[in-house]
Amino acid sequence: MTPSKNRLGRGLGSIIAGAKTQPLAKAETPAVPAATSVAVLPILPSSAPEFRAIAVNSVEPNPRQPRRDFDEASIQELADSIRSEGLIQPIVVRQTGDKYELIAGERRWRACKMLGLSVIPARVIVATDASSAVMALIENLQRRDLNPVEESLGYASLVRDFSLTQEEAGERVGKGRATVANALRLLGLATEIQGYLSKGLISTGHAKVLLMVTDTARRLVLARRTIEGGWSVRDLEREARRAKAAQHQNRDMPEAEATVIEDLEKRIAKKLNTRVSVKHTPKHGRIVIEYFGNEDLQRILEMLGVNE
């Protein structure tokens, strides 16, 4: 495994270097379980007593790990690499009682567990809760392992759990305040839309456009239409502007009547899963139902019970 060349601010290495190390009389002797003949443990430097071999089962995940999704296939590939070439880079942990809490290297730890290894090389440091959370976030950011929602949740944890301002949180991970602020805004999207973003079905650019739509029901419809129609960010911007205009089309009505029309639009749109406009006057009106292609038209016709 080749360490990432990307650096954020001071970088994970400098933060770890600045942390206190756990003193040891001497490094423990690594032991590979008899079940495997693979030399998976690197030579631990005797001049750096903070490096030691620890029991795999004594390691616990970091509760503030920003990464939520771990791809089993990629971990299997990593396990195969460790089996073939050995584990080049130790994990980083801090001691909590008789256990060790992961700070960096959860994928490596999971891969070693998958291989059934009993010990794993680790660097044991002393770190506060805040430092542990920051280092876990930085490692994932440097490796580009986080999806946009996970990154946002990581920043939110720093702000919420450690009473940091957005600017302070940004400084800790080498990001500007605006970057943190924009990331946190993504958490204002509905859970369903966050799911689309996490899975890569929509981009961060799409998400930023959706945030411009104040009506949550319209946001959801636009997000679904973006995926179904394969819209670009520019396509979505155009449709968002149309949605915004539709919100004001009945603004000359009495407030109570406009509210009823808006609610009717939402209910029809939710039922048909498409954008709907209701243009109403006391004497006449019309309902405009949008569709996207022949298949979408057929779908709507079937939902309306209209047979060809």
What average pLDDT does range 80-103 have in this prediction? 84
pLDDT for the residue 141: 67
CATH class of 11-140: alpha beta
Residues 110-124 have a mean pLDDT of 87
The answer to whether 64 and 136 are in contact (CB under 8 A) is yes
Nearest to residue 230, comparing CAs of 212, 203, 191, 268?
203
Distance CA 245, CA 224 (A): 20
Q: Which has the closest alpha carbon to 138: 122, 154, 126?
A: 154
**pLDDT (0 to 100) of residue 7:** 35
b/e burial code for range 74-91 (CB count within 10 A of at least 16 → b): ebeebbeebbeeebeebb
CB-side neighbour CA atoms (13 Å) of 163: 0
Query: What is residue 196's predicted lDDT score, i.e. its pLDDT?
Result: 94
pLDDT given at position 245: 67
> pLDDT value at position 89?
80
The least confident of 66-75, 166-175, 270-279 is: 66-75
Which of 306, 300, 256, 254 shows the shortest CA–CA distance to 275?
300
* Number of other residues whose CB lies within 10 A of the CB of residue 176: 12
Q: Which residue(s) pair with 60 in the sheet?
A: 101
* Most confident by average pLDDT, 55-59, 92-96, 214-218, 283-287: 55-59
258, 250 in Cβ contact below 8 A?
yes
- Nearest Cα neighbor of 91 from 128, 142, 54 is 54
In whole angstroms, what is the distance from residue 105 CA to residue 94 CA? 12
The four Cα atoms 128, 133, 134, 137 give a dihedral, to 10 degrees, of: 160
- Residues with a known catalytic role: 106
| Average pLDDT over every residue of 172-179 | 84
66: left (phi over 0), alpha (psi -120 to 50) or beta: alpha
* Mean pLDDT on 11-19: 41
pLDDT at 10: 38
Q: Which residue has the higher pLDDT, 63 or 195?
A: 195
Instruction: Report the share of the chain in percent with pLDDT over 90.
Output: 13
Letter for the amino acid at 304? L
pLDDT at 296 (0 to 100): 84
Q: Give the number of other CB atoms < 10 A from CB of residue 20.
A: 11
Q: Is 127's pLDDT higher than 70? A: yes
- Rounded CA-CA distance 16/11 in Å is 9
Query: Please, where in the chain does CATH 3.90.1530.10 lie?
Result: 11-140
Name which residue leads in pLDDT, 24 or 180: 180
Q: Look at residue 106 in the predicted model and tell me its pLDDT.
A: 83
Q: What is the mean pLDDT of the chain?
A: 76
Q: Express each pLDDT in 182-240 by its tens digit.
A: 999 999 999 999 999 988 999 999 999 999 888 888 888 889 989 988 999 999 998 88
Q: Which amino acid is at 72?
A: E
